Amino acid sequence: MNYFIGAILVLYAAGVLSLVWNLLSSLHLITRQRALPPVPRDTREWPSLDVIVPVKDEADNIGVVLHSLLAQDYPNLRILVVNDRSTDGTADAVQAIQDEHPNVERFDIKELPEGYYGKPHAVHCLRNELRGDYIAFVDSDLDLDPACLPTLVDHLDRNRFDWVAVMGKPKVARFWERVSVPLFGAVIFAWYDPRKISDPKWPNAIGSGLMVCRRDAYEAIDGHRCVIDIYDEDSELVRIAKRAGQKISFVLTPELFTQRHYGTLDRTIRGMTRTFVGGIKTLPRLLFTANALHFISHMPFIIMIMLAVATLSGATIPFAPWWWAAAITHLATSTGLALLVFHTAGRDRHLALLHPLGSALLIFICYRAIRHLSRGEAIAWRGTQYSS
């Protein structure tokens, strides 16, 4: 029996050491993460820029992103809002802004052809309207710093990239968002190392809610036509661009914009399920994610409780000091990882102490995504059913 328990202890200790290594690697990555300091507009001749904002049923929020775009310190800026089958007064909200700003144009999509996905189809419908040297794709839940677009175009120009995809600072208000969104981002980056996304030798990639590209690079891969029936179209665009030999840059830029998240617990669960299905993609990867979250956030508490109960009941525990040492190291490392994740996301670090709650929610979402994939169930989002 002692040999069996000793073998389990060795396996557990190996898992804890792996976690320590991941903490050190994450610290190294973050300290070396290249920032993009805001670049003010200067006297150079800036290339023309078309900004595409796809929107559906965002009457109460569309003003935030449009006013932040109108405040950009960028000349030759043209804003194209594609209103995809909205039923809540979005068109009127955009029209009110158009009346005061002639560089805002609105295009209304009335129907979605069968087999197509809403957002890529809506953006594809603007293909013949594009005139800029560069194109920016901006989700409707963003709020951009005035130097955001000049900084990204400058980054593309100076480094001769074809695409740049950036991640901003999450904007969360409600409790479950605050404890889960930073961990949600950490899960995504565990599968998609930001350093590798920019590496042409690594075939995989993720996109983001804010991407800027050269128009000729976009047209060379047939624009959004090539992803018109793809679930995670922004990530697939970047993958296709990489396969075509185009140069990609992926950067964390919390100083350049914030991104509003889902709000209610129900919308958080449905939105994250959709992202896990589209981003993590496979049943084995989802199962691994759920078990990794459980090991990181819950296992040290479970082991310490079991050790305490066994000790209080007078049971003899083989290698008890080593079990305690491993569990305490595990707890300290898990807490350190959570503090690092929440600090990087710009969230209150005291919430990192509640990471077991956030992990429990993400584990539930993992199994919800597993159910969708295993049953082939459709996912409903913004009034449209999408096959998983």
Instruction: List Cβ<8 Å contacts ≥24 apart for 359-362.
Output: 359/183, 359/293, 359/294, 359/296, 359/297, 359/298, 360/297, 360/298, 361/176, 361/179, 361/180, 361/268, 361/269, 362/180, 362/183, 362/184, 362/187, 362/272, 362/289, 362/290, 362/293
Sign of CA dihedral 132, 137, 142, 146: negative
Measure Cα distances from 50 to 69, 78, 132, 133, 208 in Å.
Answer: 11, 5, 5, 8, 17
pLDDT in tens, the chain (388 residues): 677 877 888 888 888 888 888 777 766 666 566 667 777 777 678 999 999 999 999 988 899 999 999 999 898 899 999 999 998 889 999 999 999 998 999 999 999 888 888 899 999 999 999 999 999 999 999 999 999 999 999 999 999 999 999 999 888 889 999 999 999 988 988 888 777 888 888 888 888 999 999 999 999 999 999 999 887 899 999 999 999 999 999 988 888 999 998 888 998 998 899 889 888 889 999 999 999 999 999 999 999 999 999 888 888 888 889 999 999 999 999 999 899 888 887 777 889 999 999 999 999 999 999 998 888 776 665 656 555 5
Compute CA 110 distance to the chain's CA centroid, rounded to the nearest angstrom.
29
Query: What local confidence, expressed as pLDDT, does residue 25 receive?
Result: 73
Query: Coil, strand, or helix at residue 260?
Result: strand
Nearest to 144 by CA among 65, 54, 48, 43: 65
**Measured between alpha carbons, how far is 270 from 206 in angstroms, rounded to an integer?**
20
Nearest to 115 by CA among 258, 264, 231: 231
Which tokens hold the place of 23?
């903490």
Nearest to 148 by CA among 229, 239, 19, 251: 251
Query: What local confidence, expressed as pLDDT, does residue 365 receive?
Result: 96
Domains and CATH numbers, the chain: 2-30+281-387 (no CATH), 49-174+192-261 (3.90.550.10)
pTM, two decimals, is 0.88
